[in-house]
Structure 1
Amino acid sequence: MTTTVSDHLSRTIVGETGRGLVEAGRLASGNMIGIPYMVARGKGSGPCLWINAAVHGDESQSAIVATEFFRAVSSLPLYGNVVVTPVANPLAFDYRRKHSPFDGVDLDQSFPGRADFLGTQRLAHRLFEELAPLADVVVNVHTMGSFLDACNYAVYKLHPRGAQEHDLLSMISLLDPRVACRMDVSGPGELPGHIAGALDYQMLELGKRAFMLEVGAGGRLDRGAVNRAVAGLVRLATAIGTTKGTPFEWPTSICRATRRTHVTTPDGGFFHPLVSPGEVAAAGQPLGEVRNVFGDVVAAISMPSPALLIGIRRDPIVHSGDRVAFVATEWSDVDLASASRRAP
């Protein structure tokens, strides 16, 4: 096995950075399956902040956020270690697919992984055994699919061994998301899958603080979304004591969503959006319309109750059942004033 992240950190001079690959398997060609990582060694005993990205291979913008954050934070005085894994799923990333082309398994539903089964499970196991002993705070950076336009938002889960909800929301608020979405692990998710196998949830089980940040959508470089995310991650690093950045005011509230859903089209054709990410649509207000190949409007898409638009479809070609929007249907502002007076 190649040199691990912990070994690399122990050999890194205080104030210096390093990079390498975590070996996670081998291809038939003999080439190594390697997870790239970057480390920055702090001079104190502050918490280790680990930023993970591109757990889904089509979420390219997440990797850009991770690398730009590392460049920004490593130029600051560090009192704890920083680790960044910008491409957690290298096989899927190289193919620009959400899942590995070899087994089709969702990496972010596979943690803590298995060392003796499918390739994606082996990858999850290898990454998790690096993360678990080192990381104190983990942010798993995602984007929405490339067929959508989306605002920056966060997703968090609750675990009996994990951080309290207000503490998580307080940290998340530093990233300036449009909304923080609480995901119920016990029930069905927005899409089929094993939600409890998510990296952030498995880190919560170990008593770590962890959540997901969604930065716009994949398949593009949205400079505004990236800059917003990078600045927020630097604030987080400052707040938890990993670095000393520019002083800031703690947010006193955050918009929290407790129910989300995908909106689908009943008919095929070309989707024309009528709202933008971040907006609130009134009950019955059209989110968009579908026109068939003859130009006729065959569907007007709306919700029976108000909806906060997280993502709206940008790829116009749709078939019956395709997703055209992702919305919050229950949300409210949460007072963080008491939580914001103490560091997370």
Structure 2
Amino acid sequence: MSTFETHSNPAVVPPARKPGWTSIDFEAPGIQSDFARVPYSSDSSAYGWIPVPMICFNSGRGGPTALLTAGTHGDEYEGQIALRKLVCELKNCELRGRVIILPALNQPAVKAGRRNSPLDGGNLNRLFPGSLHGGPTAVIAHFVANELFPLADVVIDLHSGGTSLDYTPMALAYPGRDASEEESIRRLLKSFAAPYSATTGGSGGGNGTTLYAAAEQQGIPAITTELGGGPTLSKIGLAIAETGLRRVLRDYEIANLGNVFEAPHTSFMRFLDRDGDIYAPRDGLFEPFVKAGDKVTIGQKAGKIHRLDDALTPPVELTFEGSGIVAFTRFPTLTATGDALFGLMIEQEDHNP
């Protein structure tokens, strides 16, 4: 039986000077379910707001807070489903801390099944720490960075390759601003225990404008994931998300959900970024010779681009300029100049036992 009572207050008056608001009292014990309400004036609703689902589990006993998000990109499904399943488990679990869950963070993009918001074209994971003066996507980022980050002791933002990429399952994190933060982040990576754990500076995409980068800048241990690819669901990626979340909640003494395997080995990696990435040099049909997770060497043939407009012209051959493990490949066959086709990573020494 659950040790909590569920509360919801649909009659909410927005606080003054806050562009986003919720009825949830994060300090109150119990289970509360509501929305982060993000004002959005549209042709069909002059004074409407975007409902971003949010659930808070609070033991009322103090203890750490885990902030868990998914649906930052609407076409990435492993994290969205893992968090919905976790909500059902937490309803019947005795907590010692607090868990705040947003399983569809960019709700407009989730409903549309798109990476970016159909409302303003905003890529939520390129808009942190957010703004009060941008579109609704920037306001969602502002709400997370200013209202939720101050509550959190640990942050996990679950991603996958989405429509355009196929990723080998991994967790990623910024390295931390000092040795103490680095140790805290590596502890979180080891607890989640994806097959690969990569530290990154964000040069492959996002730089400091991602959710987990913004959390790091507030001194919060934060990781993100890549758990599959394509506009579908990876059973392997979903299982990694479920077990990783359970293990983190146990290891940080927030909740013990049972059926938690001890952390398997995670290989610490670093991305070669632009030194190892291959981008499409022209429009065409992409024929890869390797898949995500394969080991490759310098000079190895990576694939071909077949021209659409001239079948007599030989295809463009692609060659790896670095050695390592293929972190991702492009998922769709149809490609355009500048599309990311391959990314490489290499092993780094795990200097924290």
What TM-score bracket applies, with the shorter chain setting the length? 0.7 to 0.9
Judge which range, 135-144 or 100-109, deviates more. 100-109
Structure-2 residue corresponding to 1:263: 278
Conservation of the 8 A alpha-carbon contact between 2:53 and 2:105 = yes
Q: Secondary structure at the match of 1:167?
A: helix
Q: Is 1:68 aligned to 2:85, yes or no?
A: yes
Distance 1:73 1:273, change over 3 A: farther
Higher relative contact order (CA 8 A, sep 6+): 1
1:174 to 171, 188, 191: 191
Distance 1:263 1:306, change over 3 A: same
Q: Distance in 1 between matches of 2:157 and 2:301?
A: 33
Between Structure 1 and Structure 2, how many residues are aligned? 328
Cα distance, 1:48 vs structure 2: 0.8
Q: Deviations over 1:299-318 (max 9, x none)?
A: 22221221311111231112
- Alpha-carbon RMSD across the aligned residues, in angstroms, is 2.7
Q: Is 1:235 aligned to 2:270, yes or no?
A: no
Q: Distance in 2 between matches of 1:287 and 1:146?
A: 21
Q: Is 1:18 aligned to 2:18, yes or no?
A: no
Structure-2 residue corresponding to 1:299: 316
Structure 2 length-normalised TM? 0.82
Distance 1:117 1:268, change over 3 A: closer
Q: Secondary structure at the match of 2:301?
A: coil
Unaligned residue ranges in structure 2 (runs of 5+): 1-12, 16-20
Q: Secondary structure at the match of 1:143?
A: coil
Match runs of 1:144-163 below 5 Å:
144-160=161-177, 163=180
Structure-1 residue corresponding to 2:347: 331
Structure-2 residue corresponding to 1:277: 292
Q: Distance in 2 between matches of 1:322 and 1:196?
A: 21
Q: Is 1:216 aligned to 2:238, yes or no?
A: no
Distance 1:305 1:207, change over 3 A: closer
Q: Deviations over 1:79-137 (max 9, x none)?
A: 11111101111222223332223333332232232234432222222233331232111
Q: Distance in 2 between matches of 1:5 and 1:38?
A: 11
Identical amino acids, percent of aligned pairs: 22
Match runs of 1:22-101 below 5 Å:
22-28=36-42, 29-30=44-45, 31-42=48-59, 44-101=61-118
Cα distance, 1:251 vs structure 2: 5.1
Distance 1:10 1:165, change over 3 A: closer
Considering fraction of residues, name the structure with more strand. Answer: 1
Structure-1 residue corresponding to 2:18: none
Unaligned residue ranges in structure 1 (runs of 5+): 338-344
Distance 1:227 1:2, change over 3 A: farther
Cα distance, 1:10 vs structure 2: 4.0
Conservation of the 8 A alpha-carbon contact between 2:28 and 2:60 = no
